[in-house]
Amino acid sequence: MYRFLLTPRWLAVGVFVLLAVAVCIFMGTWQLSRFENRVEQHRDAKHTEAHAAEQAPVPFSGLLPDTKAQVPADGSGRRVTATGRYDSAHQLLVPDRTLDGRDGYYVLTPLRIGGGAALPVVRGWLPGTAPTGAAGGGAVPAAPSGEVTVTGAMQYPESAGSNGVPTAPGGLPSGQLGIISAASLVNLLPYPVYNGWITATDAAAPMKAVPPVAPPNSGLDLKAFQNLGYTGQWFVFAGFVVFMYFRLARRESEARTDAALGLLPPPGPGAGTAAGTGTAAGTGTGSADGTGAEAGSAAHVA
């Protein structure tokens, strides 16, 4: 019944189906592994964050020994201490930041370490729209004067679109900053900046302390669920290819069976042509008989 599947044409179709299914399964498995990796990273980040919060603070220089160093993989969220003097003259406000479901802004003040490079410190968060001019003026609590020791959580440099950072933070007025990173601060401050920042644990009233955020690419964001969606799509494609193969094979089998039983209707144009041929034959016969009769009549007259 299905011997036609062994013909060259159907063998080629079968090979194509096998290759298509293999590719779909491979791509679906790969997308699933990407999703599982993101889930694992999210779980590890949560564990690291909880573990870091329980540890005693360490000097920040152990994580960032100089301005060229990067925050280590396990350094985000780590409690650190930094000793220096706040540079209130170069204080900056970071607008469009949300805390507890409310819109507001961060207050960032550079902390000069030993009179040299500065460590960006987010001293707290305030609700409302960030004021312009002189880094907030009287609306923002003044930074402590003299040498201070700040305790806070180490954070990775920000990037556009991550952890609530606006995608296009450009066009801000003077005294405001869109992204907290050394690359953004290098043109705003007259001294080197460490490639990381800390959020202070204690914030002066009425400011609220900014909780640390997870490292970039470690959460279950939209990309993670896109991977899960792509996984389902590839497996659906594989099932659809198999379904279409068996459907076409069944239709071919039914057509061959109907042809063998003579159940297929005869073609219309062919039948009409045969009838026309028979009519021509009849006409020819009549003409021949008429010619014979005329010959007989001629003989009788003679």
Write out pLDDT tens, residues 207-221. Answer: 999 998 866 655 566
Q: Choose from 10-24, 63-77, 269-283 the range with maximum mean pLDDT.
A: 10-24
Q: What is the dihedral of CA 82, 84, 85, 90, to 10 degrees?
A: -60
Q: Cα–chain-centroid distance for residue 297?
A: 102
CA distances from 151 to 231, 260, 297 (A): 44, 89, 138
Task: Evaluate if residue 92 carries a pLDDT over 90.
Answer: yes
Euclidean distance between CA atoms 148 and 91, whole angstroms: 16
| Per-residue pLDDT at 187 | 87
DSSP 144: P
Angstrom distance (rounded) from CA 295 to CA 84: 139
Residue range 272-289: mean pLDDT, rounded: 41
Give the pLDDT band of residue 262 (cuts 50, 70, 90): confident
pLDDT-derived band at 252 (thresholds 50, 70, 90) equals confident
- pLDDT top residue among 155 and 165: 155
DSSP 69: -
Q: Say if residues 93 and 135 touch (Cβ distance below 8 Å).
A: yes
Q: Which segment, 1-5, 145-149, 266-270, is predicted with the most confidence on average?
A: 145-149
> Please, are residues 127 and 102 in contact by the beta-carbon 8 Å criterion?
yes
pLDDT of residue 139: 80
For residue range 22-79, list pLDDT tens digits in order: 999 999 999 999 888 888 877 776 666 666 666 788 999 999 999 999 988 778 888 9
pLDDT band at 189 (very low <50, low <70, confident <90, very high): very high
283 or 247, which is more confident: 247
In this structure, are strands 118-127 and 197-200 parallel, antiparallel, or unpaired?
parallel
Q: What pLDDT was estimated at residue 107?
A: 95
Is there a contact between 104 and 114 (Cβ–Cβ < 8 Å)? no
d(CA 182, CA 196): 7
Q: CA 120 from chain center: how many Å? A: 31
The token pair that represents 251 in the structure block = 């239709």
pLDDT at 275 over 50: no
User: Could you tell me which residues come within 8 angstroms of residue 170 by beta carbon, excluding any fewer than 6 positions away?
Assistant: 178
Whether the pLDDT of residue 129 is over 80: the answer is yes
Share of the chain above pLDDT 90, in %: 45
Tokens for 124? 């707290």
Handedness of CA 6, 12, 15, 16 (dihedral sign): negative
Instruction: Say what the pLDDT of residue 135 is.
Output: 59
Q: Tell me the three state secondary structure of residue 86.
A: strand
Give the SS3 label for residue 52.
helix
pLDDT of residue 295: 40
The predicted structure's pLDDT at residue 50: 64
100-128 confidence digits (pLDDT tens): 999 999 999 999 998 789 999 999 999 99
Using one digit for the tens of pLDDT, what is the confidence trace for 235-245? 999 999 999 99
Residues 157 and 213: beta-carbon distance below 8 Å: no
Q: Round to whole Å and give the CA distance between 42 and 228.
A: 15
3-state DSSP call for residue 71? coil
Kind plus residue range of the DSSP H or E element containing 166: none
d(CA 126, CA 207): 5
* Percent of the chain at pLDDT exceeding 70: 75
